[in-house]
Amino acid sequence: MTRYVRRFSRTERALHWANALGFFTLLGSGLVLYLPSLAVLVGRRPVVKDVHFWSGIGWIALLTLVALGGDRRGLLRTARELDSFDRDDARWLLGRHAPQGRFNAGQKLNAALTAAFTVLFLVSGLLLWLGERDTRFRFASTVLLHDGLMDAALVLLVGHLYLAVIHPATRHALRGITAGTVREDWARRHHAKWKPE
Amino acid sequence: MSGSTEARPVIGGGAKIGRGVFLATTLGGLSSLWWGASVWSRISRAISPVESLVPLLPSGGWRIYTVSGSLPGFDPSTWRLELAGAVEQPAALDYRQLLALPKATQVSTFHCVTGWTVRNVAWGGVRIRDVLAQVRPHANVRALRFVSAEHPYDDYLTLEQASLPDVLLAYELDGRPLSRAHGAPLRLVIPDMYGYKNVKWLTRIELVPQERLGYWEQLGYDQDAWVGRSNGYGS
């Protein structure tokens, strides 16, 4: 019989999907603002701008609510896991075979970059909004930062989706972030140092 | 399974690298608010020969900004450019009459106040003096009001600003008739000022005794939108 082990808590999964929901809403409305062909097709720029701005505020508010209302201690433990890199992580990043914990080194890097991007998206987005109202908040590079973040986030997203949905060896991970559990033999193969509770 | 046999604690045991990546990325990103534009300007100048062959940015770096729900349409049979205000006899040019005026072309850079720039834009159109020659202005005229078909967008230039050598009423962009997104059939181009002064979908030019606040100026933007010297830049 197939045995399953718990990989992600309810709070972790809720945080992941809240982030995904916010990101895709912002990506969709942001592309309408950014791409001339979509801007012409959709029109209603003032409405799309409002949708984009309030989606951003809603995104951060939702992440905060999930984090504060969920298993805070568990999230702190997860943050510590994501923060620490050992020699096996270094080997793994160099392309060598090395046993990994609950998160592999790539996932840890992705988490750190995604967290930084979230802060930078928020700051640059607020500066764009404020800058339209007050020159003290206007920087020549805000729009470059916001757009550059989108480009970088898209690269991360494409890699993330490929590994989570398409790549045969890793796509079982999707079950972990939806149902919470993964096959024990898969966990042993991909996350040998992880000792599920 | 091959690999290291070193047993290391999984939680919180290794080097604290994740926070370093987070902080370096965040601080690098924030500091780019000060250096991003100048670095990007150098990069875009370096890649501009490639960019002309292989567009790296969508639609050559343009963004389409509008203030109302939809883009004004253009029907060559009904479109008119009205010339009105303090003049002896108001006049109106239709599209054919506009194209019959002496054609001027120029290549200039377009700067948006939000920070993006499009280099080497080839415009074709008419100089303002050739259009104003259709009417006899009153002696007290000091400024021009440019009215867009996109209500309630308008903006003003002084006669002096409107007489700068590279100010153009453009009906062509990169060798093609101006598209709807870029303000078809006619837009104002004043490369020394930010894009919001470059009124799109022009339908009316009024000759007036003095400048007033245009659409964006009423929302706090500078009346004189000189590139690099207004709207909080260069101060």
Instruction: List, for residues B194-213, the tens digit of each pLDDT value.
Output: 999 999 999 999 999 999 99
pLDDT confidence tier of residue B9, bands split at 50, 70 and 90: very low
Tell me what percent of the residues of chain B surpass a pLDDT of 90. 75
- Per the domain annotation, does A42 fall within a domain? yes
Indicate the residue of A40, A143, A189 with minimum beta-carbon distance to B64: A40
Closest chain B residue to A95 measured between Cα atoms?
B3
Place of tokens 């834009």: B121
- Residue A58 in this model has a pLDDT that exceeds 70: yes
* Chain B, window 160-199: residues with a beta carbon less than 8 angstroms from a chain A beta carbon: 180-181
| B234 interface with A at CB cutoff 8 Å | no
Which pLDDT tens digit goes with each residue over A148-185?
A: 999 999 999 999 999 999 999 999 999 999 999 999 99
Helices (H), chain A: 10-34, 36-42, 45-69, 72-83, 87-93, 105-131, 142-161, 173-178, 184-190
- Give a yes or no: residue A183 inside a domain: yes
Mean pLDDT of A126-146: 90
Q: Positive or negative, the Cα torsion across A117, A123, A124, A129? A: positive
| B18–A112 CB contact, under 8 Å | yes
Q: How far apart are CA B197 and CA B188, in angstroms?
A: 8
For residue A175, the distance in angstroms to the closest alpha carbon of chain B comes to: 22
Q: What is the pLDDT of residue B213?
A: 97
Cβ separation A144–B37 shorter than 8 A:
yes
Residues 200-229, chain B, touching A (beta carbon < 8 A)? 219-220
Section B131-153 average pLDDT: 96
Cα angle for residues A187, A104, A108 (degrees, 5° grid): 140
Say which of A37, A111, A135 has its CB closest to residue B232. Answer: A135
Domain spans of chain B, in order of start: 13-56, 61-219
How sure is the predictor about B12, in pLDDT bands with cuts at 50, 70 and 90? low
Distance in Å, alpha carbon of A90 to nearest chain B alpha carbon: 11
Give the residue-averaged pLDDT of B12-27.
Answer: 91
pLDDT at B55: 62
Is pLDDT at A107 greater than 80 in this prediction? yes
Residue of B nearest to A101 (CA): B10
**Given pLDDT bands bounded at 50, 70 and 90, which one contains residue B38?**
confident
Whether residue B140 is predicted with pLDDT greater than 90 in this model: the reply is: yes
Pairing of strands B202-208, B80-85: parallel
Q: Is A197 within a domain?
A: no
CATH of the domain at A179: 1.20.950.20
> What residue in B sits closest to A137 (Cα-Cα)?
B232
Sign of the alpha-carbon dihedral angle for B219, B225, B230, B232: positive
B30 contacts A123? CB cut-off 8 A: yes
Plot region of A170 (φ>0 → left; ψ -120 to 50 → alpha; else → beta): alpha
Between B14 and B113, the higher pLDDT residue: B113
pLDDT score of B6: 42
Give a yes or no: residue A2 inside a domain. Answer: no
Is the preceding omega at residue B165 within 30 degrees of 0, hence cis? no
Q: Is residue A136 in a domain?
A: yes
Q: What is chain B's mean pLDDT, rounded?
A: 90
Chain A contact set for B29 (CB, 8 A): 116, 120, 124, 145, 149
Number of domains in chain A: 1
- pLDDT above 70 covers a percentage of chain A that reads 100
* Prediction pTM value: 0.87
Instruction: Provide CATH code, domain B61-219.
Output: 3.90.420.10
Residue A111 domain boundaries: 7-190
Of residues A97, A111, A127, nearest to B3 (C-beta):
A97
Considering only CB atoms, which chain A residues are within 8 Å of B66? 39, 43, 45
Q: How far apart are CA B209 and CA B188, in angstroms?
A: 20
- Residue B53 is predicted with a pLDDT of 66
Render pLDDT for B58-115 as a digit per residue (tens, 0 to 9).
Answer: 677 899 999 988 899 999 999 999 999 999 999 999 999 999 999 999 999 999 998 8
Report the candidate in B120, B115, B78, B106 with the shortest Cα–Cα distance to residue B172: B106
